[in-house]
Amino acid sequence: MHKTKFIFVTGGVLSSLGKGLAAASIGAILKSRGLKVSIQKLDPYLNVDPGTMNPFQHGEVYVTDDGAETDLDLGHYERYLGVPMGRINNYTAGRIYNQVIAKERRGEYLGGTVQVIPQVTDEIKAAILSLASPNLDVALVEVGGTVGDIESLPFLEAIRQLKKELGPFNSLYVHLTLVPYLSTSGEHKSKPTQHSVKELRGIGIQPDIIIGRCEEPLPADIKRKIALFCNVDEDAVFSSVTVKNIYEVPLRFYEEGVDQKIAILLQLPAQNPNLTPWRRLVQVSESLQGQVTIAIVGKYVELKESYKSLHEALAHGGLVNGVRVNFLYLNSEELIEKSLEKHLRGMDGILIPGGFGMRGVDGKLLAVTYAREYKVPFFGICLGMQCMVIEFARKVAGLSLANSEEFDPDCPDKIIYLMSTWYDHRSGRQEVRDAHSDLGGTMRLGAYPCRLERGSLAQHIYGQDLIHERHRHRFEFNNKYMQQLSERGLVFSGFSPDGQLVEMVELKLKDHPWFVGCQFHPEFKSYPMAPHPLFRDFIRAAKEYSRG
C-alpha cells in the first residue's frame, strides 16, 4: 500500500461507550492482518493537554516516550497495538486553537479574518494528516465526545471535509452508538441510534459502519432495522457486547466480521488475521487458578480510571504468574494508625501510586511503615517511592523531621526537593541544577535512561543494566542524604547515567522479601503480551507471600 487510509471513529447517544477500546480493537485486528496501524485521539476540550486536569474529571494522564501528557485512551492504543504513541497521536481543541492563534499573531493569515471554517478545520485536518506516512497503512482517528456536543463540531466538520479530499476507498466512518435493551418489553431499541445518526447526517457525515454497544448481541431483525433507517449496508451493522475481559473485544469484532467489512470498503489486501496471541491471552486469563489481593493506597480511588494503566499492568503481572489480581483501593486520607491493621491485614502486596500534593500523604506513610515492618511485598511508584524514602529516613535513619519540600518547604531535612532538569533527547545531554530560583520547566516528562546497579534486585528483575522509563514528576531525591540512608540499609539501585538523579531504591532481600520504589511510571510500558518486569516480579512476590 502506498497511501495511508483513514478510519474515523465517532460516538453517539452518551459518553463512556468505549470508543477508545473499539478503535484499539479494530487497530489490533488490522495489525494482525499484517498492516501497519496507528491511532490518534482528538479531544474537544479546550485544555491544551490533560496535564493540569483533576484525575476525578478525566481519569489518568497517560505519558508517552516523547513527554506528551495525553488522554488515557492512548494507553489502550499502546496496549492493543504494542507500539509506542507520541505527541502526534493526541490533539485537543485547546492545542488546535493555540496553534491557530499563534499563526494569527505571526501574521500567517495575511491579515484575513480568522474563523472556525476554514482556519480551525484546516488546522485539525493538518493534525490528522500528519499521521500519514509511506510506512503506515491505516490510521484510525477517534473523535472524542458525543455527536451533538457543540465542542465536537469543528472536528466533525474537519473529518467531513477530509473524506472528500482523500478520495474513494481511502477513508470511512465508524459510528459507535448505544442500543439499549428493555427487559420489560424484552427487546432492543434502535431509536437512540437513529437519532444519533440523524445528528451526524445533519452535518454531512454518513456512517459507513455502525457498531451497536449492547449487553446482548443484536438480533438480525434489529440490525436490518438499523441498516434501513440509518442508510448503511445490512452487513455493516455490528454488535459490541459487554465482556468480562476487555482483551476479548478484538476477537468479538473479528467474529462479527468488522475487519472484513473495513477491508472491502477500503480495498485493503485480502489476508486472514493471525489472532492466535489474542486467543491465547484470553484463554490464559480465563484459566487462572490462584489469586492475590493488592492494596492500592491512593487519593483518587473513587474513580478507578485515575489508575487505569496501573490496574492493567497489575493484571498483566497476574497473567504471567497464573493468578487473578484482586484490587483493594484504599483512600489514603482515611488511613489512620488505629485502623491500619484492619485495612491492610490479609493483603498480599501494597502499592502506592504516583500523585501530587500533600493530601493523603500521612496515610501513605503509614502504609509504607506497615509494609516494611510486617514484610509485605511493597511497590512505590513516583510519589510512592518518595514516601518510601521519607518513611525510611524518619523511622530507620533517625531523621524524624524528614519530609518533601513539596509538602513542607521549611522542613529542616528535605529528603525530597525541587530540582530543574533539562534533557535534550537528540543529543542525550542532561543538565541538572538547583531550581529554587526558577520554577519553570521543572517537570520531568517522558522517557529517560536509568542505569541499574549490578547485583541489585532491580538489575535482576530487568535482566539488563540500562533501561528507559517514562517520568511525570517535579521533585527528586536529595543526594546529600544518600550516604546516611545507605548506611542504615536503603539500597539506591537505579540512577540517571550521570549519577545525579536517583531512579530506584530497594531493601536487600535478607531484610525484606520485596520492597522496591521507582521514580518513574512503569505502568505506562506494560502490555498484555509483554508484562512489565517490575509488575511481573511484584506479583510473583505477592503470590509467594500469599502462600506463606
Residue 276 backbone class (left: φ over 0; alpha: ψ -120 to 50; beta: rest): alpha
Choice among 214, 230, 382, 518 that is catalytic? 382
Judge residue 113's burial from the number of C-beta atoms within 10 Å of its C-beta, 0-12 exposed, 13-18 middle, 19 or more buried.
exposed
Q: Reply yes or no on whether 523 is catalytic.
A: yes
The contacts of residue 313 (CB under 8 Å, 6+ apart) are 522, 523, 526, 531, 532, 535
DSSP letters along 126-168, please? HHHHTT--TT-SEEEEEEPS-TT-GGGHHHHHHHHHHHHHH-T
Instruction: Let me know: does 381 contact 364? Beta carbons within 8 Å.
Output: no
Residue 232 DSSP label: -
Residue with cell 502526534: 88
The contacts of residue 296 (CB under 8 Å, 6+ apart) are 307, 310, 327, 328, 329, 330, 351, 352, 353
The amino acid occupying position 533 is P
The amino acid occupying position 16 is S
Judge residue 363's burial from the number of C-beta atoms within 10 Å of its C-beta, 0-12 exposed, 13-18 middle, 19 or more buried.
buried
What is the Cα Rg of the chain in Å? 25
The contacts of residue 395 (CB under 8 Å, 6+ apart) are 369, 372
Using DSSP's 3-state secondary structure scheme, residue 429 falls into coil
Q: Reply yes or no on whether 450 is catalytic.
A: no
Grid cell digits, residue 356 = 501530587
Choice among 60, 142, 157, 523 that is catalytic? 523
Grid cell digits, residue 481 = 542524604
**How many Cβ atoms are within 10 Å of 270's Cβ, its own excluded?**
9
Residue 110 DSSP label: T
Choice among 76, 188, 311, 521 that is catalytic? 521
Instruction: Let me know: does 393 contact 402? Beta carbons within 8 Å.
Output: yes
3-state class percentages of the chain: helix first, strand second, coil last, to nearest 5: 40, 25, 35
**How many Cβ atoms are within 10 Å of 324's Cβ, its own excluded?**
15
**Catalytic residues, which ones?**
382, 521, 523
